[in-house]
Amino acid sequence: MRMLSTRGIAPAASISDAIAAGLAPDGGLYMPASLPSFTPADFDGADTLAQVAQRLLRPFFAGDALEGELAAICATAFAVEPPLRTFGEANDYILELFHGATAAFKDYGASFLAAALAALPRGDRPLTILVATSGDTGAAVGAAFHHKPGMRVAILYPDGRVSPRQAHQLGCFGDNVRALRVDGSFDDCQKLVKTLLSDAAFKQDVPLGSANSISLGRLLPQMAYYAHAALGHWRAGRRALNFVVPTGNLGNALACFLTRSMGLPIGRLVLANNANDVLARFFEGGDYAPQASRTTLANAMDVGAPSNFERLQWLEPDAARLRAELSAESVSDDEIRATIVDAFQRHGEIVCPHTACAVRVLQRLRARGAVGDWAVVATAHPAKFPEVVEPLIGREIPLPPALAAMLARPSHAQPLAGDARALGDLLRVP
């Protein structure tokens, strides 16, 4: 299947080439030229997450250099089954995506990307993976690429704008993974990554790839857990599952949107923003107007210029039709705190600040009369945010073993000015 740039200037690419490049040469984001169509029956006999993923992704890799590797890649990336369980009220569910190596949903896409790139032929020079992170992506990428031969990783994160445990994770790898704490916001980090990925001359000197959701190798695999959850729910009662997805850079929610567009039994899709309400304002009828990001308790969603909105507009350029397909709502820090307390006191549930955004939006939807089966997406383990969550619930959150092991390692991050030249000079050093 051909992959096209959202800006329509770069030539079509194979999915292998799109994954290796990260960003299209014209600065656009790669997207499949078309989407396959499925019915639930097409997944008969596919029960595990890895089996669903392989069947879902197979059309995109047909005829590609990675086609023969897809089963093994999926087995590696989707070894952890994400539970979909009841949550609080009747017909409410939670999809827990934080049971992987770094306790965040990003583990799935990062593992897929690392396995895919490892299976592609490379030259003698190492491939440098650039990744901007607002907290979770960088650790997932670091874990997935750690010790991968022929690959280096540079993690850029906004200094002082991630949780202490997130910062520790980002700097705990060493070896071929380098953490850079940037003087600026996540949007500044993302701009640095895009600037170098768009610099053809620099890439001749330093081969680059990306592990943000601008990469198809990150985005497409995230469809798998939505398909798996929706199929399991459909098989149990022939009912579509609606989703509330906390979102910042829009990659995770876009993956759900694509999954529904391909015919999987997904009903409504609602985006939960924090106070960075660019998407909420657009879906409420305003212009799409990126803004400087604000610091919130849900820091991994502190994005003022979500990259994947470009993909969404490419899929549906008509704003009215797009608003008919999706909706979005923003949640304040005070509401995040109140929701964390409410979930714990009423249901004994402990949620991270990002998941709390989705829970609060679902509460609003129910109060307005929303019916059907709804799942909130839990994107990170609450133990990654003890400074926020523990004072609100009045107890310590036990650490998942994988997270505890990472926090036991020494951690180091190098300061970096928010300047593309400074980043380029640093990356030229072996």
How far is it, in rounded angstroms, from Cα 218 to Cα 300? Answer: 17
- Does residue 308 fall inside a structural domain? yes
CATH number of the CATH domain containing 263? 3.40.50.1100
Mean pLDDT of 382-409: 96
Quick one: pLDDT at residue 166? 92
Percentage above 90 pLDDT, the chain: 91
Q: Is the Cβ–Cβ distance between 311 and 254 less than 8 Å?
A: yes
Quick one: pLDDT at residue 214? 85
How far is it, in rounded angstroms, from Cα 124 to Cα 386? Answer: 44
Q: Is the Cβ–Cβ distance between 253 and 311 less than 8 Å?
A: no
- Does residue 304 fall inside a structural domain? yes
Quick one: pLDDT at residue 404? 95
- Does residue 359 fall inside a structural domain? yes
Domain tally for the chain? 1
- Does residue 231 fall inside a structural domain? yes
* Confidence category of residue 430, pLDDT binned at 50, 70, 90: confident
Indicate the pTM of the whole model: 0.93
Q: DSSP per residue over 3-58, as a string?
A: EEETTS-SPPB-HHHHHHHSS-TTS--EEESS-----GGGGTT--SHHHHHHHHHH
- Does residue 378 fall inside a structural domain? yes
How far is it, in rounded angstroms, from Cα 291 to Cα 303? Answer: 9
Question: Using the 8-state DSSP alphabet, how is residue 425 labeled?
Answer: H
Q: Is the Cβ–Cβ distance between 381 and 352 less than 8 Å?
A: yes
pLDDT score of 226 more than 80: yes
Average pLDDT, the chain: 95
H or E stretch including 231?
Answer: helix 223-237
Quick one: pLDDT at residue 212? 78
* Confidence category of residue 321, pLDDT binned at 50, 70, 90: very high
Q: Which residues contact 90 (CB under 8 A, 6 or more apart)?
A: none
pLDDT score of 241 more than 90: yes
The strand pair at 92-96 and 177-182 is best described as: unpaired
Quick one: pLDDT at residue 135? 80
* Number of CB atoms found within 10 A of residue 295's CB: 14
- Does residue 269 fall inside a structural domain? yes
* Confidence category of residue 418, pLDDT binned at 50, 70, 90: confident
For 284-305, the pLDDT digits (tens) are 999 999 999 999 999 999 999 9
Quick one: pLDDT at residue 53? 98
Beta bridge partners of 338: none
Question: Using the 8-state DSSP alphabet, how is residue 99 labeled?
Answer: -
- Does residue 30 fall inside a structural domain? no
H or E stretch including 152?
Answer: strand 151-158
Structural domain for 85, as ranges: 81-104+219-400
For 207-217, the pLDDT digits (tens) are 998 887 889 99
- Does residue 20 fall inside a structural domain? no
* Confidence category of residue 43, pLDDT binned at 50, 70, 90: very high
Quick one: pLDDT at residue 3? 98
